[in-house]
Structure 1
């Protein structure tokens, strides 16, 4: 049987697999995992085999990688930690939504279960983090509304901003300046153009098309 992998490395893989299918349905491939994690394909293949041996993922050679029930539960637990910490930093410490990701990456591994549940209680058990991502509950369940990627929304579609990707801090700042943040109403007025909360039509950066999710 393959040797056990370090816990933090396992969590990083499971989170990446979970994230990949959270807002779309196509399963992740080992090559996509390697690109996202910045690792050599051979390294990823070896780790996927270890995860499969531990019952955390299902995978066949040259095929996609999927979380098992046990893997999804573990991934949801670490994502709950990350998103609660992000929400805590924004609400209690005045962090901006483009500043919290890296801090949460560190703190998610350091916070005890007792402190995490205390943070959740203090925040009123929030359902979403500052970027609109759902926070799994203590058993891994999430509440997600039907959604539509901004780039797939037809002209005339109006929806509430459900989620904004946190991958690009500069884009987050630009979208916040334009009013395109979680909870605001957006109407698609043209290719790359929207009206926010009934205001005038504005042009968004091209990257917004694949970074903003609306209610369907």
Structure 2
């Protein structure tokens, strides 16, 4: 069974994933903090928790890398984000900016049934 993570922790996993995809390498605490608009101390605390949960590898002052488990979780969170955004834009004609913002909140609370229906609507 998958561990239920807080919205904040899921946002960290997603951000680490996206930043590492963008740059093809690990992510620095500074970049993570900037990307999420949080303090370095908050980013450090979250990374420590993610490391304890087995989602990231991180040595003090080093870069952050998702583990295989972390990558799998990040891909799921990001998939939800992408599909919800697409659904809001295509089915409800929501602006992309608002769809992105709303998807960021919805992705954490949506049921599997509703999510699967969105995917079916989009024929994915």
Which secondary structure state, in structure 1, belongs to the residue aligned with residue 57 of structure 2?
Answer: strand
Q: Which residue in the other structure is 2:29 paired with?
A: 30
Which secondary structure state, in structure 2, belongs to the residue aligned with residue 55 of structure 1?
Answer: coil
Which secondary structure state, in structure 2, belongs to the residue aligned with residue 66 of structure 1?
Answer: strand
- Aligned residue runs from structure 1 range 35-54, under 5 A: 35-54=34-53
1:16 aligns with 2:15: yes
Which secondary structure state, in structure 2, belongs to the residue aligned with residue 58 of structure 1?
Answer: strand
Q: In 2, distance between residues paired with 1:51 and 1:71?
A: 8
Q: In 2, distance between residues paired with 1:107 and 1:46?
A: 24
Q: In 2, distance between residues paired with 1:59 and 1:69?
A: 14
Which secondary structure state, in structure 2, belongs to the residue aligned with residue 62 of structure 1?
Answer: coil
Partner deviation per Cα, 1:2-52 (whole Å, 9 max, x = no partner) = xxx952121011011011022331321011111111222122112211111
Larger of the two Rg values belongs to structure: 1
Q: In 2, distance between residues paired with 1:83 and 1:29?
A: 24
User: Considering only aligned residues, what root-mean-square deviation do their CA atoms show, in Å?
Assistant: 1.6
Q: In 1, distance between residues paired with 2:5 and 2:108?
A: 12
Q: In 2, distance between residues paired with 1:94 and 1:27?
A: 36
Q: In 2, distance between residues paired with 1:96 and 1:22?
A: 26
1:92 aligns with 2:87: no
How far the C-alpha of 1:97 sits from its partner, in A, is 2.3
Q: In 1, distance between residues paired with 2:93 and 2:24?
A: 35
Which secondary structure state, in structure 2, belongs to the residue aligned with residue 23 of structure 1?
Answer: helix
> For structure 1, which segment, 106-115 or 81-90, has the greater mean C-alpha deviation from structure 2 after superposition?
106-115
Q: Which residue in the other structure is 1:122 paired with?
A: 121
Higher strand share: 1
Q: In 2, distance between residues paired with 1:77 and 1:14?
A: 10
Paired residues in the alignment total: 121
Output the TM-score relative to the length of structure 1.
0.53
Which secondary structure state, in structure 2, belongs to the residue aligned with residue 95 of structure 1?
Answer: coil
How far the C-alpha of 1:122 sits from its partner, in A, is 1.4
How far the C-alpha of 1:102 sits from its partner, in A, is 0.8
Q: Which residue in the other structure is 1:110 paired with?
A: 109
1:77 aligns with 2:107: no
Output the TM-score relative to the length of structure 2.
0.89
